[in-house]
Homo-oligomer: A and B are copies of this chain.
């Protein structure tokens, strides 16, 4: 075959496993596993197994190696991988909205910028939803809502500081003066949006496991 190296040939299941491992490790820590680390991770008794898999991946065009350099594996399709941003998770955002000493996050959510439509520059954060106040917008208790700092537009879902507590509400400007509306009949809605701190605009939602639907 003359143009063999130009095509990305089909990988076997095992080769795909290796490639996935390289990918996730490299994206998590930024460090490419060495052949002996691959060996350990897959439980190979010999380092040769890892080496030959790398060679196969290179022959099929999935990776490019630089010879005789440590951890020097590049992905051939590097371009179409979306960058990852780390979004800090807060249980709630206390009054100090834009102060420098941010509250300690309760964890971190890693999302690719594409799925949330984030830019790498935008300081996004996540809020763990408590209660059912936005159940009408299909936001459940325990969901993680990803928010971005920007000006709210009509019908945006925003995090607002009400009575010292951060709450999700829908931002409505249909009338003359904007107001906030809860998406649950049991909750008070129609709070004038003046004098209220809008802490962020919802751009995405992540619902995790370890819960019942």
Contact = CB atoms under 8 A, between A and B. Distances in A.
A210 B24 contact: no
Which secondary structure characterizes the binding site on chain A?
A: mixed
A110 interface: yes
Band of interface residues on A: 35 or more
15 contacts: A20-B85, A24-B120, A28-B82, A28-B84, A29-B78, A31-B32, A80-B108, A84-B110, A109-B115, A135-B138, A138-B140, A203-B209, A204-B206, A206-B206, A206-B207
A208 B137 contact: no
A75 interface: yes
A126 B66 CA distance: 29
Contacts of A85: 20, 24
A13 B121 CA distance: 13
Nearest to A140: B138
B209 A86 contact: no
Contacts of A205: 205-207
A139 interface: yes
Interface in A145-196: 155, 157, 170
B110 A112 contact: yes
A14 interface: no
A187 B131 CA distance: 28
B28 A30 contact: no
Given A23-B86, A26-B30, A81-B108, 12 more contacts: A27-B84, A27-B110, A28-B84, A29-B78, A31-B73, A32-B71, A109-B115, A116-B209, A117-B208, A203-B209, A204-B207, A205-B205
